[in-house]
Structure 1
Amino acid sequence: MVTNTQEESVETRPRAVLTAPLTFDGESEVDYRAPNLLRRILSLLNNVRPGSDLTQFQLPPLFNIPKSQLQCLGESVYCIRNDLLSSCNDADSPEDRMVSVVAWIISIPRPLIFGVAPYNPILGETHHVSRGNLNIMLEQVSHHPPVSALHATDDQQGIEMIWCQQPVPKFYGTSVETEVLGKRQLNLRRFGETYVTNTPKLLIRFLPVPLVDWVGPVRITCKETGLEAELHYKSNVFGRRNNLRWISGRILDSTSSKTLFEINGHWDRVVTAKDISTGEVRVIYKAEESMSRLKAPYVKDPNGVSEKESAVVWSEVSRGILDKDWEKASEAKRSVEQRQRELKKERESRGEKWAPKHFNVNYSKEKGWDCCPIAGQVPPAPIIVPL
């Protein structure tokens, strides 16, 4: 656990609690799982009907890891040991850039620990972090339904990311499957190229073997080059390691549907790309090089940390979980949720409509959620990720 130990000018403001990210194999230096975990989970879901939407289902802290879903979304961008994002900008040809983009996108879905989940972010919660020249701003722009937005910029590299996502978890008796709606954009300004992609589904299976994995199709398109990538995340119900976290797919020219590269491997180990024209096979992603020995962010500027910052909003809950003081964690979580209900009533009594601070948000049945950043660039953050 990393906390800000510097004296603050406002003593009553909670200090941020920042914890290390999960490693590439989904484990952590701290075991957050409660005893008899599977039995506890099945008991918790005993009265939930199969097919039910779990969007508003509230987990007790016993089933939480000490960080918000907003932080987990941000970690998928800034918690990586080698700079795969800059590699997208270094490639000379459109084909090589698409291969690099595919490798970077494979690094994004992170493994989770079975039986525990992050907090559901509150409305207006933010997470502002910098890693080198990459500055990332996240905001929870809707609570019901839950929608998170991300904007990241690296002005030196000419890179910009704009993400918008809405998780929709459903219970199917022996499993929970979360569809993640919304699109993700990566803009390489140096080349005038925009890559658009979706997100795989998160599968949590209880029986016959407890399992958490990413599954389903992912499509990456670049309108400017005409190149596309089709990826498929696959799992195995019996949990055999050789069939777990398997990924396959191809990169193709959309104008001719000609396959240029074949993609194969395991997203938690090694992924290769085979050049169809030459037969050459090369490693494009090594999970151990990218997602092992990751360091926790730290607070560089305590006075610059917003009261809406995830690590501040949930600080007391996180302290309770880290201390395994479940009564303290439960009380702190109820306090956070009760404060949100009070703020909602206050807005309604004044006839006010809440609006995000960092994004303009639109929704339509045809296109879903669209989150457009208000600012053209993200400023440096008070929270820093060690390189």
Structure 2
Amino acid sequence: MNQNSCQKIEQDVDSSEVLEDDNKSIIMGLIAQLRKGTDLSRVTLPTFVLEPRSMLEKITDFMSHPDLLVKASKTSDPTQRFVEVCRFFLSGWHIKPKGVKKPYNPILGEFFRCEYSLEDGSKAMYIAEQVSHHPPISAYHYSLPNLGIFVNGEAHPKAKFLGNSAATVMKGYTRIIFSELDNETFEISNPNVYARGILFGKMTMEMGDQSTIRCKSLDLICELDFKTKGYFSGQYHSVTGKIKRISTDSTLYDISGVWTEELFIQEKEKKSSKESFFNVSEHTVITKSVESLDKQEWNESRKLWSKVTAGLAARDVDVATDEKTFIENRQREETAARQKEGLQWHPRFFTINKHEEYELKGLSGIDLKNLSQANEHLKKQIFAHTPPAISPATSTETVMSEEDQKALIAEREPIAA
């Protein structure tokens, strides 16, 4: 796999911005057509509000500190191991774009894959695919197979207009499994995302509402409350939480702090003082390695959206809008063609299991007693280039040369917005 370090995501502690007059009038014109509670998943947003990467890649933010997950898997004390999993979960939220930005909505069949190289020599791999468009569902798999660490999940974002705010309700789950510990499993739910001040005031991005981390076999749960700032009080990006024994509802640890800066933990029973739990400035983000664009298939996220991203980077809104419109129109045409022919779309990398959840193909057949073999199997499964393309229009495998892939991207005429 050719390595090409990921783009640096610019950070802004306030996650806020003030719109230029022209952009504000576009937003106001769009909002004038909406009612409170409107589902925004079918609303085409202006290009200037976009973060230059797909939602499939954005999910990787939460895997930016895999060393913490490795540490958790190697912690022998069960309660402390749970604490370490909580630390890992909270470590990825500080990575965010500057201002109020929304990632590209993945098209059906789009996928993103990458690798991570840890300092101890171990490697992590990630694959995500858009397995449904309406409703939007992103399925993902992240693992360090040599260490028996497997992470599976689904993201079901649903955006709603709330007046002066827009909310993205983050349905779905993340499931962490330590196969070397009798498949010890941690179930995680995510908080919701809010864009504030879209009608008046300063636009701000916030996390809000509840999130949980649960391990039934350890009888432990972490209940987190991501706080949103009030008009006259409170603080941006704060979170509080409790790690509790499920059977007794007794609190073992309190968690507090600002997830963009530093979090603290306090052991309840010993009445000890607060200790630093995760300090953003003290932890280095482990960057992902992605194949260069000329090696990627046409529906890999970075290649698919490359011209939109280039337009945004050059501040050429017209080019970015034309390219974005082309992708969206092509998806509509392919959907209509499938419906006309009575064809059903089937994901390339994921399949529905007996629990009606999306699972990486072949995962259930892996021999977890042979982790080296499992590693090789997953590597081939995730990074294979055969077949190089699956046409969303026909839901059949299509052999396409690299030259044909380049032609598909380069020769098309942009469709005007």
TM-score bucket (shorter structure): 0.7 to 0.9
Deviation at 1:238, TM superposition (A): 3.2
In the other structure, the counterpart of 2:87 is: 103
Deviation at 1:257, TM superposition (A): 1.2
5+ residue gaps, structure 2, are 118-122, 364-376, 385-417
Cα distance change of structure 1 residues 188 and 329 upon mapping to structure 2, 3 Å threshold: same
Q: Counterparts of 2:18 and 2:357 in 1: how far apart (Å)? A: 36
1:42 and 2:28 aligned: yes
In the other structure, the counterpart of 1:9 is: none
SS at match of 1:354: coil
Q: Is the 1:100–1:284 Cα contact (8 Å) retained in structure 2? A: no
Q: Is the 2:139–2:154 Cα contact (8 Å) retained in structure 1? A: yes
Kindly provide the CA deviation profile for residues 150-181 of structure 1, in whole angstroms up to 9, marking residues without a partner as x. 11111122111111111111111110111111
In the other structure, the counterpart of 1:21 is: 9
Cα distance change of structure 1 residues 42 and 259 upon mapping to structure 2, 3 Å threshold: same
SS at match of 1:167: strand
Identify which of 243, 250, 253 aligns with 2:242.
Answer: 250
Q: Counterparts of 2:293 and 2:235 in 1: how far apart (Å)? A: 45
Deviation at 1:53, TM superposition (A): 1.0
SS at match of 1:212: strand
In the other structure, the counterpart of 2:45 is: 59
Cα distance change of structure 1 residues 239 and 56 upon mapping to structure 2, 3 Å threshold: farther
Identify which of 188, 191, 201 aligns with 1:200.
Answer: 191
Cα distance change of structure 1 residues 379 and 301 upon mapping to structure 2, 3 Å threshold: farther
SS at match of 1:219: strand
Identify which of 348, 359, 381 aligns with 1:372.
Answer: 359
SS at match of 2:147: coil
Higher helix share: 2
Identify which of 310, 324, 330 aligns with 1:319.
Answer: 310
Deviation at 1:345, TM superposition (A): 2.8
> Which contiguous aligned blocks of 4+ residues in structure 1 show a shift greater than 6 angstroms?
31-34, 380-383
Q: Counterparts of 2:309 and 2:237 in 1: how far apart (Å)? A: 29
The percentage of aligned residue pairs carrying the same residue is 25
Kindly provide the CA deviation profile for residues 320-342 of structure 1, in whole angstroms up to 9, marking residues without a partner as x. 11111122111111211122122
Identify which of 112, 116, 136 aligns with 2:101.
Answer: 116
State the AA in 2 paired with 1:269.
E
Identify which of 335, 352, 358 aligns with 2:349.
Answer: 358
Deviation at 1:17, TM superposition (A): 11
Q: Is the 1:185–1:195 Cα contact (8 Å) retained in structure 2? A: yes
Deviation at 1:239, TM superposition (A): 7.8
1:224 and 2:217 aligned: yes
Cα distance change of structure 1 residues 156 and 362 upon mapping to structure 2, 3 Å threshold: closer
Kindly provide the CA deviation profile for residues 60-81 of structure 1, in whole angstroms up to 9, marking residues without a partner as x. 222212111111112332x34x
Q: How do residues 303-318 of structure 1 correspond to structure 2 at under 5 angstroms?
A: 303=295, 305-318=296-309
SS at match of 1:230: strand
Deviation at 1:382, TM superposition (A): 6.5
In the other structure, the counterpart of 2:278 is: 285
Q: Is the 2:114–2:288 Cα contact (8 Å) retained in structure 1? A: no
Q: Counterparts of 1:229 and 1:220 in 2: how far apart (Å)? A: 5
Deviation at 1:195, TM superposition (A): 0.3
Q: Counterparts of 1:329 and 1:300 in 2: how far apart (Å)? A: 21
Q: Counterparts of 2:353 and 2:46 in 1: how far apart (Å)? A: 32
Deviation at 1:40, TM superposition (A): 4.0
1:76 and 2:62 aligned: yes
Q: Counterparts of 2:29 and 2:353 in 1: how far apart (Å)? A: 38
Q: Counterparts of 2:283 and 2:24 in 1: how far apart (Å)? A: 31
State the AA in 2 paired with 1:195.
F
In the other structure, the counterpart of 1:10 is: none
Q: Counterparts of 1:375 and 1:308 in 2: how far apart (Å)? A: 22
Higher relative contact order (CA 8 A, sep 6+): 1
Number of matched pairs: 358
5+ residue gaps, structure 1, are 7-15
Instruction: Say what the alpha-carbon RMSD is for the aligned residues.
Output: 2.9
Q: Counterparts of 2:111 and 2:14 in 1: how far apart (Å)? A: 25
Q: Counterparts of 1:239 and 1:297 in 2: how far apart (Å)? A: 43
Deviation at 1:41, TM superposition (A): 2.7
